[in-house]
Structure 1
C-alpha cells in the first residue's frame, strides 16, 4: 500500500511520513525539493510538485492508493497572514492548486484522500460558541477561508470509491529539529522581550496517528467529514518551565481561559488518544537535553547563587 504525502518534508509532514512508514506503508513525498534522507525513519521515494504549477505533474499518482495533502504555500513562519501582499496568488496556489490535486487523484484511482485543514476555519465565530465540526462557518481571515473552501471542495468529491476527510489541526509541536520554539528559547535566554501567550497544541506524532486512523477507518465513519484535532492548552510559561529554563524568572501565566478549545469527541470516538501532558513534558525534556539547555540552566543557577 502506497501513500503520497504532499509537503512531506515540512514541519507537520515529517511526522505524518514517519507515522505512515511505521504503519508499514510505502511513502512517496511530493514537493519542490528532494528531502534529506535524515528526515525520515526509512527511505522514501520523491516526486516533484508545486502548488504554483497550472497542471499536475504527469504520473504523480501512479501506483498511489492514499493521498495526504499537507502542502500549503505561505510566507515562512506565517499561516494567518501568510498571503503577504499577494492574496490572489495565495488563493490561486492553495485553493485552486489543491482542488486540482484532489480531482486528479480521484481520476487516477486514488482510494482515500486526507486534507490537513486548520482550526482557523473557526476564526470569526462569536466568543463562547462551541468549536464543533457542525458549526456554520464563515472564516474571518483568508487563511481560514481557503482552508474551509478546500474542505468543502474535497467533501463534494467524496464517493464510495474516493473516500475523503479533512483534519482541522491546532498548533503542532514536537521533538523534531528545527523546532518551532527555538526562537522563543533563544530570545528568552538572551534577555530579549518575549510574547506571553496561551494556545492549543497537539503533538506531531499524534497527528500522524490521526492520519493513519483516517486511512484505516471505515468509509461510513469518515467519508466527506471534517475532524477537530487538538490536545492540550499550554502557555509560554509551560514551555519554558518544561525546557528547564530556570536561570531567570519565568513569565507570568497567560490567561488560558481565553483560548477557545476545539471539541474532539468526533475523532476520539474513532479511537484516537493523544499523549496529553505526559507527552508534552517528555518532549520538552528531550528538546532541552538535545539543545544543552539543561546544562545552560544549571550554569545560570550557579551564577545566581
Structure 2
C-alpha cells in the first residue's frame, strides 16, 4: 500500500506541469483566441486537402457523422499491411503470458513492450503510409501529426478499468485512432466501442475538461437513449477501425471470453492543442527518428511533429500515460 501511495504521489508531481498548462489553455480569453486561430488555420489549409478515392471519402464522411468507421486491410489496399499484422500477432502471442501476469498484479493498461516495435519498424512505418495520412488529413482539416503505434493487449478478465471505461482522449480537438485487429474479435473478445453522438460540451467555447463517462453522466450529456447509437466494432482479423476518440466517447468493451490484441495508430493535428498530453506509445523521439529514414518529407514531418510545437510548449514534460 505504501508503494502504491508513493507511486501515485510521484505521478501527481510529474503531471503537475501538464495539469497547469491545461488549466491555463482553458482560461476563457485564451481558449477563445486559440479557437479563432484554429478556425483560420482550417480555412487556409482547405484548398490543399488531399483528393480521396470513394473509400477514403466514405471513411471521412462516416467519421464526421458517427465518429467511427469500420473497414478492412483488403479494401484499404496498403502494400505489406498483412505482413505487419502477422508480425504484430506473433509479438502479442509471445507477450500473452506476461500480459496475464501483469493483469493479475493489478496493471490496468497493458501494451507489448515498445522496444519490440522498434525492433520491427515496419509496424511503426505502416501508420505513416500516404493512404492513411490522406484520410487523417482530410478528416482533421490540417496536416497530420503521427503519435506512433502501440500493440494493446487486453486480458479477458471482465474488469471495467482504465480505457475499458467510457472516455474521451485529451490530445486535441479532433484526433483519430486507427485500430487494426490481430485476430478475430467477437462480442466476448473486447471489441472497440464508440457512442455515435458528439459530446456537446468540450470545445474552445466551453473549455476542455476530462472525466470518465458513467451512465448517469452519459444520459445527461448525450440523451437518455444514448445506447441506441452504440457501435460495437466486432470483426475478423485485419479489421480496421477508424475513430475520432477526442470528440466521441469510446472504450474497449471488457472482454470476457478471450483476450484481445490490436495495433493502435494515433493521429492529431500538427501541432495539437495539447502537446503535453501526447506521446502515449512509449516510443522515444530518438527511436521514432531511427524508424523513418528514407521516408518522404510529409511522412517525416508527421512523425517529427514536436518540431512544430511552439518553443514554450516544448518545455512542458509529457504527462504520464
Structure with more relative contact order (C-alpha pairs < 8 Å, separation 6 or more): 2
Larger helix percent: 2
Q: Structure 1 length normalisation: TM-score?
A: 0.24
Larger Rg: 1
Give TM-score scaled by structure 2 length: 0.23
